[in-house]
Amino acid sequence: MAEYLASIFGTEKDKVNCSFYFKIGACRHGERCSRIHNKPTFSQTIVLLNIYQNPQNSAQTADGSHLGNISETELQQHFDDFFEEVFTEVEDRYGEIEEMNICDNLGDHLVGNVYIKFRREEDAERAVNELNNRWFNGRPIYAELSPVTDFREACCRQYEMGECTRGGFCNFMHLKPISRELRSRLYKRRPGAAFGGHRGRSRSPSPKSRRLRQTEDFGDRRRGRGGGGNFNRDFGGGHRGGGGDRDYRRY
């Protein structure tokens, strides 16, 4: 019996533990789920909840159509800027990153989630402890250890093939890719790593990147990064007072 229970743990046959939370680290039912969400006490992976704000999502009309003043190029640059800033800050402070992914889903339990897999579990634990006392873009960061270690199991295969019929409300991860230029700048491949680590990357944003960060369309908090000192503003420190700030989490 024990062998059987171990074999079905985290699968759809498991009537006790939530298979979605086990695979994806998130469940659309949240705390109302009838099955148990087994939160890990140690893991290489952390999740920053709802931290990425896609300007395309906030630039929609009431009927769900998109406003026409944001080009695909601008959206990609905005995403790349965010990805690089978070990746750089987190790795420099907490330890080597093996893999980082950002959800492009619209469901409340996945929207804007940033998953970061460290090389060492100790670094992941320290990152969670410290990031929960910091701010980003004027909002408190909510970080937790995640059970996700294999993103291939968590991703929507239909989305990767351009065939997902559920759209942004799919319950599997729709991972937004970064540009090739940024990937080559951040990652240097090495044996045994999903994407490899990175060292000696350029921190200087392009002139176009600086211009985009100054446009009101994106509501961007970075008014010229300049040497990383603005991380103290974007990734603010200090303890949060009260619980009212949790309102921005939508589940």
Segments making up each domain of the chain, as ranges: 39-56+73-187
Cα 87 to its chain centre, rounded Å, is 10
Give CA–CA dist 59/62, Å, rounded: 10
Check if the beta carbon of residue 73 is closer than 8 Å to that of residue 178: no
SS3 assignment, position 218: helix
Domain 39-56+73-187: CATH architecture, name and number where available: 2-Layer Sandwich (3.30)
Give CA–CA dist 75/191, Å, rounded: 32
Amino acid at 76: Q
Check if the beta carbon of residue 100 is closer than 8 Å to that of residue 132: no
More confident call, 14 vs 151: 151
Q: Mean pLDDT across the chain, nearest whole number? A: 74
Specify the pLDDT at position 90. 97
Instruction: Examine the pLDDT at 207 and tell me if it is beyond 50.
Output: no
Specify the pLDDT at position 216. 30
Specify the pLDDT at position 65. 53
More confident call, 184 vs 5: 184
SS3 assignment, position 132: coil
Instruction: Examine the pLDDT at 148 and tell me if it is beyond 60.
Output: yes
Specify the pLDDT at position 56. 79
| CA separation, residue 153 to residues 21, 138, 173, 242 (Å) | 12, 33, 9, 37
Check if the beta carbon of residue 197 is closer than 8 Å to that of residue 98: yes
Q: What is the DSSP letter of 17?
A: B
More confident call, 45 vs 186: 45
Tokens of 111: 């929207």
More confident call, 141 vs 34: 141
Specify the pLDDT at position 41. 92
Residue 25: name the closest of 114, 86, 158 by CA: 114
Region 153-169: what's the mean pLDDT? Answer: 88
Specify the pLDDT at position 34. 80
Check if the beta carbon of residue 233 is closer than 8 Å to that of residue 223: no
Among 18-32, 36-50, 117-131, 208-222, the range scoring the smallest mean pLDDT is 208-222
Instruction: Examine the pLDDT at 40 and tell me if it is beyond 70.
Output: yes
Q: What is the DSSP letter of 120?
A: S
pLDDT in tens, 6-30: 444 445 555 577 888 888 888 888 7
